[in-house]
Structure formats: structure tokens, C-alpha cells
């Protein structure tokens, strides 16, 4: 059984490694968990002793197989809880992240499997992220790419968001964008890499670079 603190570090290392393809630096971990690098040093030492992580100083922390297994289990819990909150308790997709961060630390041999069964084994969470199965495997979303890389004139639909912060999700709500929304890139502005897109609901929607990078789409 691991503490919430340990679990949060494991998840952070996993997520940073996923994103960068390299080990997670102590500084990066500290930043993500809003803590200090010295605290990270201590915890990484502890995870190392428990054979959950390896640390090559100045080259990053990586998870062992066991660490990775714990990480995917936590992510599975997080995403299933988010799905439950949105699909059954009528939460909006921008409200569930923090609550799921609490719920993901509930320890139970089978609660999450029952929740999974109750919901009919959903494959994606409300933000389009794949939900790992009991063995940590998740469907791979082949062909998905950031909107920022889509050429002009191609019809795509939104399959995921790379940022689950309330602010970002509310912005999307305000623009009428959600999972499944079909889009075409009409114009690209080199000046700031912003895009003008059109959907069924709206034309001439101007999206800045950072928004486009965080929207994952698939060609239809």
C-alpha cells in the first residue's frame, strides 16, 4: 500500500516521462507537484529504495516495471472516476479533475473494477484520454495529432484535449468545441501560428497556437 504522496510522485514521473520521452528531472517533478526540488530528492530516494524508480542524476528519474504498473493503475482510477462523475453525476468535464485526484487514492481491492463494470467498461474518459484496463493496457489512439499540425482544408474531429484545467475546458465550451466536434482548418497565420477554423456551428473561429497544440484531432 502506498501513501497518497508516493502515488502522486509516481504519477508525476510517469506523466512527465510520457510527455518528454525521457526521464523526469527532479526540477520538473517539483514544478508539476508544486513542491521543492529538495523534497523531490527525498521522495525519489524512497521510491528508489522500494524499487519503484531509478534515478540517474542530471538525466532524470524513470519508473521500474513495478512503478509503471502502479502509475497506470492510478491513471485508470483517475479516468474511471472522471467518467463516473460526468456520465452519472452530471458534472461538467471542467469540474472533475481535482475531485478525481482525491478519488484516485482510495484503496480497495476491487472498487474500481466494479465501477468499470457498472459503467460498461468505457474506453475513454470525458477528455478523450484512453482508460487503461486492469492490466494497464489502453487502446492506442492511432492517427491522432494536434490540430496545429493539420493541413488546410482537411476535415477532422476532436478526439482529445491535452489540458484538463478548468480554464482551458471552459474556453472550449465557450467556443462551442467538444469531443467529436468536426472542424476544418481554413487559414493559417504564420505571424503567431494561429489558425482560423470552421465547424458546423461556427465559421471563422480564430484559435491561438497554444490552443491548437492542446487539441488532439483525427482525420475523418
Partner DNA sequence: TCACATTTTTAGACTTGACTAAACATTTGA
Partner DNA sequence: TCAAATGTTTAGTCAAGTCTAAAAATGTGA
Q: Tell me which residues touch DNA (CB under 7 A).
A: 3, 5-6, 8, 25-28, 33-46, 55, 57-60
The DSSP string of 39-98 is HHHHHHHHHHHTTSEEEETTTEEEE-HHHHHHHHHHHHHHHHHHHHHHHHH---TTTSHH
Which residues in 69-108 contact a copy of itself (CB under 8 A)?
85, 88-91, 99, 102-103, 106-108
User: What are the two backbone dihedrals, phi and then psi, of residue 207, each rounded to the nearest 5 degrees?
Assistant: -115, 130
Residue 107 interacting entry, from a copy of itself, DNA, none, C-beta within 5 to 8 Å by type = a copy of itself
Is residue 189 a contact residue for a copy of itself (CB under 8 A)? no
Going by their DSSP bridges, the two strands 144-146 and 60-63 should be labelled as unpaired
User: What are the two backbone dihedrals, phi and then psi, of residue 134, each rounded to the nearest 5 degrees?
Assistant: -55, -30
Q: Taking a C-beta distance cutoff of 8 angstroms, is the pair 161, 183 a contact?
A: no
Is residue 115 a contact residue for a copy of itself (CB under 8 A)? yes
For a copy of itself, the closer CB: 102 or 165: 102
Residue 73 interacting entry, from DNA, a copy of itself, none, C-beta within 5 to 8 Å by type = none
Residue 55 interacting entry, from a copy of itself, DNA, none, C-beta within 5 to 8 Å by type = DNA
Three-state DSSP class for 204?
coil
Residue 147 interacting entry, from a copy of itself, DNA, none, C-beta within 5 to 8 Å by type = none
Residues that bind a copy of itself (CB under 8 A): 85, 88-91, 99, 102-103, 106-108, 111, 114-115, 118
Amino acid at each position: 500500500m502506498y501513501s497518497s504522496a508516493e502515488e502522486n510522485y509516481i504519477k508525476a514521473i510517469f506523466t512527465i516521462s510520457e510527455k518528454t520521452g525521457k526521464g523526469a528531472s527532479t526540477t520538473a517533478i517539483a514544478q508539476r507537484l508544486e513542491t521543492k526540488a529538495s523534497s523531490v530528492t527525498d521522495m525519489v530516494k524512497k521510491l528508489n529504495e522500494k524499487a519503484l524508480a531509478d534515478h540517474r542524476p542530471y538525466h532524470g528519474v524513470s519508473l521500474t516495471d513495478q512503478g509503471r504498473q502502479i502509475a497506470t493503475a492510478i491513471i485508470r482510477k483517475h479516468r474511471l472516476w472522471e467518467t463516473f462523475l460526468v456520465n452519472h453525476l452530471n458534472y461538467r468535464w471542467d469540474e472533475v479533475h481535482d475531485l478525481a485526484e482525491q478519488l484516485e487514492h482510495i484503496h480497495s481491492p476491487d472498487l474500481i473494477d466494479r465501477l468499470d463494470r457498472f459503467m460498461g467498461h468505457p474506453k475513454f474518459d470525458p477528455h478523450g484520454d484512453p482508460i487503461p484496463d486492469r492490466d494497464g493496457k489502453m487502446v492506442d489512439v492511432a492517427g491522432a495529432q494536434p490540430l496545429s499540425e493539420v493541413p488546410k482544408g482537411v476535415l477532422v474531429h476532436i478526439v482529445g484535449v491535452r489540458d484538463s484545467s478548468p480554464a482551458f475546458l471552459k474556453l472550449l465550451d465557450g467556443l462551442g468545441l467538444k469531443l467529436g466536434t468536426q472542424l476544418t482548418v481554413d487559414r493559417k497565420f504564420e505571424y503567431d501560428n494561429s489558425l482560423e477554423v470552421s465547424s458546423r456551428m461556427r465559421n471563422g473561429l480564430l484559435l491561438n497556437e497554444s490552443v491548437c497544440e492542446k487539441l488532439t484531432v483525427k482525420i475523418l
